[in-house]
Amino acid sequence: MEDREQYVRYRQDRAVLAAIGAHLGPRISQISVRLPRSVAESAVAAWDREELGGIREESRAEYDLRDDAAELAFIGLAVSSRGVWDGEEVVVDLDVAQIAAALRAAR
């Protein structure tokens, strides 16, 4: 039983993390970034792609891959709808959650 008590603390930690997010959310919603043309075009292609197969039972690793692909597609939507091309780069405002997803994927 004692080894499960840590999860009570983790729930409390999550509540504090959520409080920090609630405080920061209204202050930091989007950040303007510059992306190289090659990755920006790949993100737009991910947004434009149609996935014909349905979602079946998947492992946690497969779920995480699909989730990352969805984050890339949403970045592609941002690039295609509000990106401003500047030579070999695009300037686009991205939601902080999209930036966080990209940073997590880079780890």
Cβ-based burial of 79 (10 A; exposed 0-12, middle 13-18, buried ≥19): buried
Q: What digits encode the pLDDT tens for the residues 8-28?
A: 999 999 999 999 989 988 888
Domain ranges in the chain are 29-106
Walk across the sheet containing 89-95 and list its strands.
Answer: 30-36, 89-95, 84-86
| Model pLDDT, residue 52 | 80
Average pLDDT, integer, range 78-97:
96
| Model pLDDT, residue 24 | 87
User: Does residue 1 surpass a pLDDT of 60?
Assistant: no
Q: What digits encode the pLDDT tens for the residues 31-69?
A: 999 999 999 999 999 999 998 877 789 999 999 999 999
pTM of the model: 0.80
- How many angstroms separate the Cα of 38 from the Cα of each of 4, 90, 104? 47, 10, 20
